[in-house]
Structure 1
Amino acid sequence: MAESKSTPAAKSSLVFVFLVVLIDMLGFGIIVPVLPKLITSITGSSLSSAAVYAGWLAFAYAAMQFVFGPIVGNLSDHYGRRPVLLGALGGYAIAYILMGFAPSLFWLFVARIIAGVMGASFSTAYAYIADITPPEKRAQNFGLIGAAFGLGFIFGPAIGGILGEYGTRLPFFAAGFLAALNLLFGFFMLKESLPREKRRKFDIARANALVALRGLHGQNKVVIWYAAALTVWMTAHVVYPIIFAFYAMEAFGWSGLTVGLALACVGIGAAIVQGLLIRVLIPRIGERNAVIIGAISMAASTIVYVVAGPDQGWLIFIAIPMGALQGLFQPSINGLMSQAVSDETQGELQGAVASLQSIASVIGPPLFTAVFAAFTIAGTIYYLPGAPFGLAGIVSLFALAIFLRGYALHCTSGLVEPPPDAKTIID
């Protein structure tokens, strides 16, 4: 075990990286409630058509992350986590400000491309946590990233909804300011987590998702099953950030402020689950059961989105806590994956995972927004704004099936040490 994993400084660093991701997600959350209005004001299109544009904006962002995610992960293995995190934060600041000034859809795409190229802070944050955390505690500490995401969505959308009442573009400038503040904070407070003796030479041949995936496959097959489950899961999970605002405005006529408050409730649930419950539940029930609960939670909640009628917007506030336990899924799998590779390749692992998730983010937004448009556009045969959520629920159960196959291999193959709760599976 590295010395950094057992010193008091490691705990302080964990707090620092949590705050870095929190402020980053706060900026992202601010823009979500006002993005539909910005697109419709720029293009003059309907909400259904604007959703399709939003899907392609998300596609551009994810495509850039797919290309640059593993490059950033490998750079962090060579130069360290700190400079990579700071560079990503600076890119976010530029992208948000550019979105605030964007006079046309073209400039919105330029901004999202910049954010996709530079916004690889999450994979590096996961690697940072892996650097300073013992293997048996990584799943719980990975949950801090989800907690930061949740807290960002408690305050971010609410702030965005309030600021949006005073101007559609104001939240984007606020997000840019927060990203710049985050950069300043990280410059002075964030310490390097990867010792020089554990760094490796940057190899451009390994710095793409497909090569990294082949490398992991050569190491053991367990990681591939887990990575596939995460990819499918993220395809389903992307429905929330890309569709929720459009869905709520179309189905219930909600304002940006109401959307922001609803998303704040989503954030509260995610923060409670990933920041508190995950530390209690995973040691007691194990990663396997945590993943099962997470997938079922999401599938059950999506049913409510599908069946809620025009005058039943209140049902969404029932679906939100129902779906909160889905926050158990990703950190549990990440914890199992990190135990299956060496300390020296944690950055490569998380970079590859980020790119695989980017594949999901490339596929998901155009898919879900196309489904949304097909079921809401004028003259549609069957009007059902919640259709994308129904599809996402089905996909989440497919991800669970893939995970269970990988977990069984983890328990019985002998390729890597079985997880602590594997005895009941083997028996």
Structure 2
Amino acid sequence: MKGSPLVVLFLTVFIDLLGFGIVLPLLPYYAEGFGAGPLAVTLLSSSYSLMQFLFAPVWGRLSDRVGRRPILVLSLAGSALSYLLFGLAGSLAALFATRLLAGVCAANISTAQAYIADVTTPETRAKGMGMIGAAFGLGFIFGPAVGGALSRYGYAVPAFFAAGLSLAALALALFRLPESLRRRIDNPGGAARGGFDLGRLWAALVHPRMGLLLLIFFCSVFAFANLEATFALFVERAARFGYTARETGYLFAYMGVLMSLMQGGLVGRLARRFGERRLVAAGTLMLAAGLGVVPLAPGLGGLMGALALLAFGVGMNTPSLSSLISRSAGADEQGGVLGVSQSMSSLARILGPAWGGFAFEQFGPASPYFTTAGLMGATFLVSLMLCRQAEGG
């Protein structure tokens, strides 16, 4: 009985995230049509992440009061509306409004996580939460490829297709997804989920091991979010590439496949052989190298090699850091630590694109990559401290 709602939830989340992936490679090209410069283009990504950051705890608290299913249904309806309006946008301001709405609705991931917690046992919860990670990975593979392929018909068509997908997910949630919450919580303040707690963040940062892990995690997400937001601008404007949304979508899908290969099986085997701390160091170094090579790539082959380094680096870093962060906290601190790491990720996804757009506009197309390559090089030195901590016991 528990498997059925989880399958329906997985399909619901996957279909919704597929819509996000479809829009990803189109956004810079679409915004440039309204006269947006690099900074404005990347602020579209930052605004989306900002709304996710602000509304994830709101949806979580509200779902404790009214149930998970109504929140998922409402947010999916909002996602469908945001994609429809995205396709109909007639100005840059309207485009920003659609991304703000999409970010509000995308904050439903906290509610999906709460749903999984409701219908799983402590022993099966990790597997259930892994379904959301799998949905993200598959959405990142298929979404950009579909968006790129449909972009030949104009940028509105992929957006309308994404709206249709959200409506399909809405129908699944309406007709096949049962309510998971057995007891409503009347005190929403006592049920906060994932809000930004400065005191808790500071306590985690000054923790000898936790602080290093969170610093590496923040820098890694910052650097990759910077790439996500600026990559289409770079391959469009570099004369040796001159790519459209179609080619950009295929390259994002290529990265998604490699990340999924790493996270789906390779990282577990590597962790057993070398240890998670060494994987973090290796992944961080690969991120630094990949970011540094992207602007130097002479052609498609070199670019794909750089993207492979990035994809494997992220695929190695993310699960290893998540595991180490979890193991650095006590059994009664897991929820708080999860909230802190989610907050760090959200802040990095707000600031990374903003920096990328600013650097691209002020210092040139290569600067977002060279600066974050330098950041990850410094982060690699921090990761070596983790390895020394392990050796020192």
TM-score of the two chains, using structure 2 as the length reference: 0.83
Distance 1:60 1:39, change over 3 A: same
Q: How big is each residue's C-alpha offset from its partner over 1:47-89, in whole Å with a ceiling of 9 and x where there is no partner?
A: xx2x221122222222223322333344455655544444333
Whether the aligned pair in 2 keeps the contact of 1:91 and 1:119 (CA below 8 Å) is no
Distance 1:391 1:143, change over 3 A: farther
- Match among 141, 148, 154 for residue 161 of structure 1: 148
Alignment map for 1:91-240 (pairs within 5 Å): 91-126=78-113, 132=120, 134=122, 138=126, 144-190=131-177, 196=183, 201-203=187-189, 209-211=195-197, 214=200, 217=203, 221=207, 225-240=212-227
Gap runs ≥5 in structure 1: 1-7, 377-384, 410-423
- Pairwise CA distance, 1:167: 1.5
Counterpart AA for 2:75: A
Secondary structure at 1:103's aligned position in 2? coil
Q: How big is each residue's C-alpha offset from its partner over 1:95-142, in whole Å with a ceiling of 9 and x where there is no partner?
A: 11111111111111111111222221334445555663757984x775
Structure 1 partner of 2:342:
354
- Pairwise CA distance, 1:160: 1.1
Counterpart AA for 1:372: F
- Match among 32, 35, 43 for residue 40 of structure 1: 32
Identity of aligned residues (%): 35
- Match among 247, 270, 274 for residue 263 of structure 2: 274
2:366 is aligned with 1:386: yes
- Match among 267, 284, 287 for residue 298 of structure 1: 287
Counterpart AA for 1:88: S
Secondary structure at 1:203's aligned position in 2? helix
Whether the aligned pair in 2 keeps the contact of 1:25 and 1:148 (CA below 8 Å) is yes
- Match among 18, 23, 32 for residue 26 of structure 1: 18
Structure 2 partner of 1:327:
315
Structure 1 partner of 2:362:
374
Distance 1:403 1:36, change over 3 A: same
Distance 1:65 1:20, change over 3 A: same
Report how many aligned residue pairs link the two structures: 387
Q: How big is each residue's C-alpha offset from its partner over 1:340-367, in whole Å with a ceiling of 9 and x where there is no partner?
A: 3657973x65454433322212211121
CA distance in 1, matches of 2:337, 2:61: 9
Whether the aligned pair in 1 keeps the contact of 2:194 and 2:338 (CA below 8 Å) is no
Secondary structure at 2:33's aligned position in 1? helix
Structure 1 partner of 2:50:
63
Structure 2 partner of 1:363:
351
Structure 2 partner of 1:256:
245
CA distance in 1, matches of 2:323, 2:177: 23
Q: For structure 1, which segment, 13-22 or 229-238, has the greater mean C-alpha deviation from structure 2 after superposition?
A: 13-22
Whether the aligned pair in 2 keeps the contact of 1:157 and 1:261 (CA below 8 Å) is yes
Root mean square deviation, CA, Å: 3.6
Secondary structure at 2:291's aligned position in 1? helix
TM-score of the two chains, using structure 1 as the length reference: 0.77
Gap runs ≥5 in structure 2: none
